[in-house]
Amino acid sequence: MKVHITADMEGVAVVSHDDQVEIKNAEFGRIREIMTSEVEAAVEGARDAGATDILICDAHDTGRNLLVEKLDRDVEVIQGTPYDLGMMSGISRDFDACFQVGYHSMRHTHAGVLGHTYTYSIAELRLNGIAVGESGLSAAIAGHFGVPVVFVSGDAHAIRQARSLVKNIVGVPTKEGVGLYSVRTLTPDKACELIRRGAREALERLEDIEPLSLKKPIQMEVEFERPLMAEYVSHVPQVKRKDIKTVSFKASDMVEAFHVFEVMQRLASYAKSQGPL
């Protein structure tokens, strides 16, 4: 059995602020240890259920977060950027299941800790009219390859949002947002114990969980935080301006949708650097 694991950082136990997940900052070393142990717990749970091949995508920021030397010696890890499929790099039809570890809610979620979708410039991303965060976007990319997302761990809002899209997904909350920058968290040891158990259970229930497969063509709408972002993005061929901060794009499939989304969020970051509009 082959398992793909996409691992983010904002949703792991303890994290409550962006400062903690930036490579240049003092606390990063501590948080990457916690992220690594949560991923290792997911790997152990997968092994308990009989997984033979495990590929991990280090999916936070620069892709240089996991302490690979501390992981199960037989896994493989994708690290660094750029990635072909972003947080889902490495996914293919060869996999039986996908896990999301350390995931967080979408932007503008009440008490959703550090909620965003790739960048804080994206106010909302909609696929065929459904608002998705990173969890939904990753699930839809896995679904393109016929792979179900069977397990998610992260903050409680991320779990709720994943459950609304994927029936029977096994979710393990590692913390609950109290405010946008505050959490009520489990200890890393407890989080890892629950993740290991949940990952095993998820693979045992593989039959009950369907891939998230979106109807094609895919109508993608992106609402940005600022008008200049939408203006720059609307110059990309076949992208249409819907209103002052929103654009739309009709994609033939999820891979095309993701590649255009990636161009959009990079252009939005450039727009942000140009001034406050």
Segment lying near Zn ion (by CB under 5 A), choices 1-9, 152-160, 231-239, 245-253: 1-9
Cα gap 265→97, rounded to integer Å: 28
Interface positions, 213-242, toward Zn ion (CB under 5 A)? none
Q: Does 8 bind Zn ion (CB under 5 A)?
A: yes
Least distance (Å) from Zn ion to the CB of residue 17?
A: 14
Burial class (CB in 10 A: 0-12, 13-18, 19+), 114: buried
Residues between 135 and 174 that touch Zn ion (CB under 5 A)? none
We find the least distance from the C-beta atom of residue 74 to Zn ion, in angstroms, to be 27
Distances (CA, A) of 57 to 15, 54, 62, 253, 267: 20, 10, 12, 22, 24
Helix (H, G, I), strand (E, B) or coil at 170: strand
Residues 97-136 as x/- pattern, contact with Zn ion by CB under 5 A: -------------------------------------x--
Q: Does residue number 58 form part of the binding site for Zn ion (CB under 5 A)?
A: no
How many residues does this entry show for the chain? 277
Cα(201)–Cα(188) distance, integer angstroms: 20
Q: Are 155 and 113 in contact (CB under 8 A)?
A: yes
Residue nearer to Zn ion on the CB measure, 8 or 38: 8
> Closer to Zn ion at the Cβ: 8 or 225?
8
Q: Would you say 8 or 124 has its CB closer to Zn ion?
A: 8
Comparison of 58 and 223: residue with beta carbon closer to Zn ion: 58
Q: Cα–chain-centroid distance for residue 250?
A: 22
**Residues found near Zn ion in the complex (CB under 5 A):** 8, 134
